Structure 1
């Protein structure tokens, strides 16, 4: 399975904490812990873990089953973003999450470009119907 964006974000927070502890970064220049609070990281991990589980349970899924899994994870991520005052996922995070969803589907054998094309969508538009972040 593809690496979750939240792991990358968590690693960045840890690296920043190491630099703060070592004195190679000032508190004024530190921002990762504010950008990625534990609550955001944990709930995002939970949502992506549920998405991965739902994909793992699908055998030869129909388009409807794939879109249902995508809809669930997007709605979960919408709720998480809302819990963080609409600022949980900024532009970079949004792109990472969309790439993650695409790659997770691809890893499960789903031809994402073909799926999207069957519905008149571009490859990276499969989350757009539900996505608020």
Structure 2
């Protein structure tokens, strides 16, 4: 299964904490815990749980059904971002989330390239219609 971005964010927090404890990282250079507070991680995981619950069977679904699943996950992530003053997801996090959505769909048999091409979109425009983050 595609790795959730929240898993790598959590690893980064743990690694940074270990470096701080070992004295190998200047406290002024630490940022992971601040960038990814527990509330943000929990809210993002809740959205991704719902998304993953919709993935089985999408390989047989029509384009509109697949786009509806993408719309729901993106709108839910928009709400998470808004709840964190529009600062939940920076550029790297946006790219990780979009990649995760693409990869998860692909793993469940959705031809993302074909889907987006049929609708005049590039592969990496899958979330653009709804994405505010």
Range into which the TM-score falls when normalised by the shorter chain = over 0.9
TM alignment of 1:78-117, pairs within 5 A: 78-117=78-117
Mapped partners of 1:38, 1:57: distance in 2: 32
Deviations 1:64-91 (A, max 9, x none): 1111110010001000001111010011
Mapped partners of 2:128, 2:26: distance in 1: 39
Runs of 4+ in 1 over 4 A off after TM superposition: none
Alpha carbons 2:59, 2:108 under 8 Å: kept: no
The alignment's TM-score, normalised by the length of structure 2, stands at 0.95
TM alignment of 1:1-133, pairs within 5 A: 1-58=1-58, 60-133=60-133
Change in Cα spacing, 1:118 to 1:59, as seen in structure 2 (3 Å) is closer
Mapped partners of 2:41, 2:94: distance in 1: 14
Secondary structure of 1:56 counterpart: coil
Mapped partners of 1:70, 1:104: distance in 2: 11
Mapped partners of 1:26, 1:46: distance in 2: 33
Change in Cα spacing, 1:58 to 1:112, as seen in structure 2 (3 Å) is closer
Secondary structure of 1:66 counterpart: helix
Q: Which runs of 5+ in 1 are unaligned?
A: none
Q: Which range moved further: 57-66 or 101-110? A: 57-66
Deviation of 1:58 (Å) = 3.8
Secondary structure of 2:121 counterpart: coil
